[in-house]
Amino acid sequence: QSVLTQPPSTSGTPGQRVTISCSGRSSNIGSNTMTWYQQVPGGAPKLLISRNSQRPSGVPARFSGSQSGTSASLTIRGLQSEDDATYYCATWDDSLNAPVFGGGTKLTVL
Protein backbone atom coordinates (compact mmCIF):
# COMPACT_ATOMS: atom_id res chain seq x y z
CA GLN A 1 0.00 0.00 0.00
CA SER A 2 1.57 3.26 -1.12
CA VAL A 3 1.63 6.28 1.20
CA LEU A 4 0.23 8.55 -1.53
CA THR A 5 -2.96 7.55 -3.35
CA GLN A 6 -3.31 7.74 -7.12
CA PRO A 7 -5.94 6.26 -9.42
CA PRO A 8 -4.48 3.10 -11.01
CA SER A 9 -5.41 4.07 -14.54
CA THR A 10 -6.83 6.74 -16.81
CA SER A 11 -7.12 7.32 -20.52
CA GLY A 12 -7.58 10.00 -23.12
CA THR A 13 -7.50 10.64 -26.83
CA PRO A 14 -4.90 12.75 -28.65
CA GLY A 15 -5.43 16.45 -28.07
CA GLN A 16 -7.44 16.00 -24.89
CA ARG A 17 -6.61 17.25 -21.41
CA VAL A 18 -6.03 14.69 -18.69
CA THR A 19 -5.63 15.24 -14.96
CA ILE A 20 -4.06 12.74 -12.56
CA SER A 21 -4.73 13.17 -8.86
CA CYS A 22 -2.59 12.34 -5.85
CA SER A 23 -3.79 12.47 -2.27
CA GLY A 24 -1.88 12.26 0.98
CA ARG A 25 -1.84 13.74 4.45
CA SER A 26 -0.63 16.71 6.40
CA SER A 27 2.80 15.17 7.04
CA ASN A 28 3.58 14.81 3.36
CA ILE A 29 1.62 16.73 0.69
CA GLY A 30 0.28 19.12 3.31
CA SER A 31 3.80 20.16 4.33
CA ASN A 32 6.04 19.76 1.31
CA THR A 33 6.19 20.38 -2.41
CA MET A 34 5.25 17.82 -5.02
CA THR A 35 7.29 15.96 -7.59
CA TRP A 36 5.95 14.07 -10.60
CA TYR A 37 7.67 11.42 -12.72
CA GLN A 38 6.92 9.74 -16.02
CA GLN A 39 7.98 6.14 -16.56
CA VAL A 40 7.66 4.44 -19.92
CA PRO A 41 7.79 0.63 -20.09
CA GLY A 42 11.35 -0.59 -19.67
CA GLY A 43 12.61 2.85 -18.72
CA ALA A 44 13.69 4.66 -15.58
CA PRO A 45 11.48 7.28 -13.96
CA LYS A 46 11.98 10.69 -15.55
CA LEU A 47 11.48 13.93 -13.65
CA LEU A 48 8.52 15.88 -15.03
CA ILE A 49 7.67 18.38 -12.32
CA SER A 50 9.47 19.41 -9.14
CA ARG A 51 8.55 21.83 -6.36
CA ASN A 52 4.87 21.69 -7.39
CA SER A 53 5.16 23.30 -10.77
CA GLN A 54 8.75 23.59 -11.97
CA ARG A 55 9.57 21.81 -15.22
CA PRO A 56 13.15 20.75 -15.99
CA SER A 57 14.46 21.88 -19.33
CA GLY A 58 13.17 19.61 -22.08
CA VAL A 59 9.80 18.91 -20.45
CA PRO A 60 7.02 20.43 -22.58
CA ALA A 61 4.90 23.22 -21.15
CA ARG A 62 1.77 21.12 -21.64
CA PHE A 63 2.73 19.30 -18.43
CA SER A 64 1.76 21.24 -15.31
CA GLY A 65 1.35 20.55 -11.62
CA SER A 66 -0.68 22.01 -8.81
CA GLN A 67 -1.18 21.40 -5.10
CA SER A 68 -3.90 22.30 -2.61
CA GLY A 69 -3.99 21.16 0.98
CA THR A 70 -3.26 17.43 1.10
CA SER A 71 -3.93 16.81 -2.59
CA ALA A 72 -2.04 17.46 -5.79
CA SER A 73 -2.60 16.96 -9.48
CA LEU A 74 -0.72 16.65 -12.72
CA THR A 75 -2.39 18.02 -15.84
CA ILE A 76 -1.38 17.10 -19.36
CA ARG A 77 -2.81 19.32 -22.09
CA GLY A 78 -2.85 18.43 -25.77
CA LEU A 79 -2.34 14.73 -25.09
CA GLN A 80 0.08 12.99 -27.47
CA SER A 81 0.69 9.31 -28.18
CA GLU A 82 4.13 9.49 -26.56
CA ASP A 83 2.48 10.44 -23.26
CA ASP A 84 1.34 6.82 -22.94
CA ALA A 85 3.20 5.93 -19.72
CA THR A 86 2.86 5.51 -15.96
CA TYR A 87 2.95 8.65 -13.83
CA TYR A 88 4.06 8.76 -10.20
CA CYS A 89 3.65 11.49 -7.62
CA ALA A 90 6.15 11.90 -4.79
CA THR A 91 6.97 14.20 -1.92
CA TRP A 92 8.85 14.23 1.38
CA ASP A 93 7.11 12.90 4.48
CA ASP A 94 8.03 14.71 7.70
CA SER A 95 6.81 11.85 9.92
CA LEU A 96 8.62 9.09 8.05
CA ASN A 97 11.63 11.32 7.34
CA ALA A 98 11.72 9.85 3.86
CA PRO A 99 10.41 10.51 0.36
CA VAL A 100 7.11 8.77 -0.36
CA PHE A 101 5.58 7.76 -3.66
CA GLY A 102 2.15 7.18 -5.09
CA GLY A 103 1.27 3.81 -6.58
CA GLY A 104 1.40 5.17 -10.11
CA THR A 105 -1.30 5.96 -12.70
CA LYS A 106 -1.15 4.18 -16.04
CA LEU A 107 -2.18 6.65 -18.75
CA THR A 108 -3.38 5.08 -21.97
CA VAL A 109 -3.60 7.28 -25.04
CA LEU A 110 -6.39 5.79 -27.12
DSSP letters for 33-53: --EEEEE-TTS--EEEEBTTT
> Does 24 interact with other proteins (rule: CB under 8 A)?
no
Q: Residue 13 Cβ, how far from other proteins at the closest point, in Å?
A: 26
> Does 72 interact with other proteins (rule: CB under 8 A)?
no
The answer to whether 7 touches 71, Cβ cutoff 8 Å, is: no
**Residue with Cβ nearer other proteins (17 or 40):** 40
Question: CA–CA separation, 108 vs 110, rounded Å?
Answer: 6
Beta strands in 1-110 (DSSP E): 9-12, 18-23, 35-39, 46-49, 63-68, 71-76, 85-93, 98-101, 105-109
Q: Residue 83 Cβ, how far from other proteins at the closest point, in Å?
A: 19
Residue among 21, 50, 70, 75 that touches other proteins (CB under 8 A): 50
Residue among 10, 12, 25, 47 that touches other proteins (CB under 8 A): 47
Size of the site for other proteins (CB under 8 A): 22
Query: What residue ranges bind other proteins (CB under 8 A)?
Result: 2, 32-33, 35, 44-47, 50, 56, 88, 90-92, 97-104
